[in-house]
């Protein structure tokens, strides 16, 4: 059983790279918003870790990873010990980067794979181009910046794009989800949510607007990890708990802005056998897919990228006798609220 649900954000930048907030400011915001962990990814550097920032900051744990950033093919990485040779990594080919990250025992996630950029603010595309790679831990499914920036190319944008940004998000891209499902047919690929926040200032009709203050971004796309015991107060042990949950796919993406999803349950049961996210279930005859939510929403149960059940409610119980890769998407206000990682039924 996984009785503990902890939430945090992945992928953001501080003044150690091109972000506009200090680590102290970021962690104050994390405390305010009630994040349990923050996974910082300043570009191609281990400096925040070397400066001793990786620790508990009051009630929020800071994990100092990095974002390896060649021109294309950005890769966010996290690990137990210090990553060596980080300055050289961005010069390597994507597979070489992935292999080196694995060699050092780190985890790696393909960042904002379908990032298009926006002409209006001269932000070019930073998409992932090399899909022949293998052995990466996971992939970003939904990124706040990627999603939101696409709205900026429309002629009719108003200041509401900033102030009521949630109305202007589209959710994870179909192309990203389809690719993820394809990848999961042959191996295990963990899906995560990203914010890629920089706290940048943009000018709109002479008005300066920050996109987004960290405390705003921290209420949007989060990652909830499932643990079978509480996070340790020893930061090294807590970090290992968080990273293990990501490695094992015991994580779901949530748009916390809609509602607190913390009581979300997704499991597949057959008799005494119960599989949770990231687990494999050896099917004998017939199992039940069980979904439970803390509030009513629109549930999609997906097997091998096909929706096998959908409906409004706070619960779904779906019998199945078919092996496959099962996952759940939940919608609220026509936008994704919860996106689970898969359970693999063999
Ligand atoms: Zn990037
Ligand atoms: Zn970034």
Q: For residue 63, what pLDDT is reported?
A: 98
The pLDDT of residue 163 is above 70: yes
Ion ligand 2 contact residues with beta carbon within 5 A: 67, 196
Residue carrying structure tokens 């980080």 = 86
pLDDT band at residue 155 using 50, 70 and 90 as cut-offs: low
Token match 């966010």: residue?
A: 76
The pLDDT score that the predictor gives to residue 228 is: 96
**Ligand 1 geometric centre to CA of 70 (Å):** 9
Look at residue 159 in the predicted model and tell me its pLDDT: 74
- Please tell me the predicted confidence (pLDDT) of residue 204: 75
Residue 122 has pLDDT above 90, yes or no: no
Q: Which sign does the torsion angle of CA 42, 240, 339, 135 carry? A: positive
Residue, of 331 and 201, whose pLDDT is higher: 331
How far, in Å, from the CA of 105 to the mean position of ligand 2? 22
Compute the distance from residue 39 Cα to the ligand 1 centre, in Å.
Answer: 14
Instruction: Indicate the SS3 state at residue 280.
Output: strand
Query: pLDDT band at 209, cuts 50/70/90?
Result: confident
User: Rounded to the nearest 5 degrees, what angle is found at the Cα of 221, between the Cα atoms of 30 and 166?
Assistant: 110
Spatial separation of the C-alpha atoms in residues 241 and 230, rounded to whole Å? 9
Q: Is 41 helix (H, G, I), strand (E, B) or coil?
A: coil
Give percent of the chain above pLDDT 70: 99
CA of 321 to the centre of ligand 1 (A): 41
Ligand 1 centroid–CA 299 distance in Å is 31
- Between the CA of 240 and the centroid of ligand 2 the distance, in Å, is 23
**DSSP strand pairing (335-339 vs 251-255):** antiparallel
Burial of 244 (0-12, 13-18, 19+ CB in 10 A): middle
For the CA of 74, the nearest ligand: 1
In a 3-state reduction of DSSP, which class is residue 146? helix
Give residue-wise pLDDT tens across range 22-64: 999 999 999 999 999 999 999 999 999 999 999 999 999 999 9
Structure tokens at 332: 């609220």
Q: Distance (Å, rounded) from C-alpha 90 to C-alpha 321?
A: 46
Query: Which among 272, 310, 273, 317 is positioned nearest to 292, based on CA atoms?
Result: 317
DSSP 3-state assignment of 246? helix
On average, the pLDDT of the chain sits at 95
Question: Could you give phi then psi for residue 311, rounded to 5 degrees?
Answer: 170, 165
CA 152 – ligand 2 centroid, Å: 18
- Looking at residue 156, its pLDDT comes to 65
Domains within the chain, CATH numbers bracketed = 4-255 (3.20.20.140), 265-345 (2.60.40.10)
Look-up of token digits 């409610």: 313
- Report the separation in Å between the CA atom of 226 and the middle of ligand 1, taken as the mean of its atom positions: 27
Which protein residues have a CB closer than 5 Å to ligand 1 (ion)? 74, 111
State the distance from the centre of ligand 2 to the C-alpha of 67, rounded, in angstroms. 6
CA of 225 to the centre of ligand 1 (A): 23
Confidence at residue 173, expressed as pLDDT on a 0 to 100 scale: 97
How many Cβ atoms sit within 10 Å of the Cβ of residue 165? Answer: 19
What pLDDT score does 158 carry?
Answer: 74
Nearest ligand atom owner, CA of 196: 2
Dist. CA 188 → ligand 2 center (Å): 24
As a whole number, mean pLDDT of residues 302-310 equals 97
Q: Is residue 125 within 8 Å of residue 206, measured between CB atoms? A: no
CA of 183 to the centre of ligand 2 (A): 23
Q: Enumerate helices (H) and strands (E) in the chain, giving the number of each.
A: 9, 21
Cα of 194 from ligand 1 centre, angstroms: 10
State mean pLDDT over 190-199.
97
Query: What percentage of the chain exceeds 90 in pLDDT?
Result: 87
What pLDDT does 1 receive?
Answer: 80
65 close to 39: Cβ distance less than 8 angstroms:
yes
How close is the Cα of 117 to the center of ligand 2, in Å?
Answer: 13
Beta pairing, strands 37-40 & 280-281: unpaired
């Amino acid at each position: 059983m996984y009785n503990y649900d902890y939430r945090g954000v992945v992928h953001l930048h501080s003044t150690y790279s091109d972000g506009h907030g200090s680590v102290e400011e970021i962690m104050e915001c994390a405390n305010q918003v009630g994040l349990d962990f923050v996974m910082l990814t300043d570009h191609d550097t281990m400096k925040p870790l070397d400066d001793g920032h990786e620790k508990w900051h009051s009630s929020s744990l800071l994990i100092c990873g990095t974002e390896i950033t060649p021109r294309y093919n950005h890769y966010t990485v996290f690990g137990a010990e210090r990553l060596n040779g980080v300055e050289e990594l961005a010069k390597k080919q994507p597979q070489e980067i992935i292999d080196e990250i694995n060699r050092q025992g780190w985890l790696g996630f393909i960042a904002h794979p379908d990032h298009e950029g926006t002409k209006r603010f001269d932000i070019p595309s930073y998409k992932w181009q090399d899909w022949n790679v293998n052995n990466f831990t996971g992939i970003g499914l939904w990124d706040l910046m990627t999603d939101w920036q696409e709205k900026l190319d429309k002629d009719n944008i108003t200041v509401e794009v900033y102030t009521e940004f949630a109305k202007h998000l589209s959710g994870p891209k179909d192309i990203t989800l389809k690719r993820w499902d394809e990848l999961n047919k042959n191996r295990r690929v963990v899906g995560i949510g990203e914010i890629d926040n920089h706290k940048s200032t943009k000018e709109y009709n002479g008005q300066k607007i920050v996109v987004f203050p960290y405390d705003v971004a921290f209420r949007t796309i989060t990652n909830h990890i499932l643990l079978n015991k509480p996070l340790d107060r020893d930061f090294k042990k807590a970090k290992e708990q968080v990273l293990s949950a990501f490695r094992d796919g015991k994580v779901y993406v949530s748009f916390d802005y809609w509602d607190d999803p913390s009581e979300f349950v997704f499991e597949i049961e057959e008799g005494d056998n119960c599989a949770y996210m990231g687990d494999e279930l050896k099917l004998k005859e017939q199992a039940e897919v069980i979904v439970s939510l803390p509030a009513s929403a629109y549930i999609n149960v997906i097997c091998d990228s096909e929706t096998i059940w959908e409906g409004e409610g706070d619960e779904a119980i779906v019998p199945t006798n078919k092996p496959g890769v099962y996952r759940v998407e939940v919608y609220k206000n026509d936008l994704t609220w919860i996106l689970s990682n898969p359970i693999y039924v063999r």
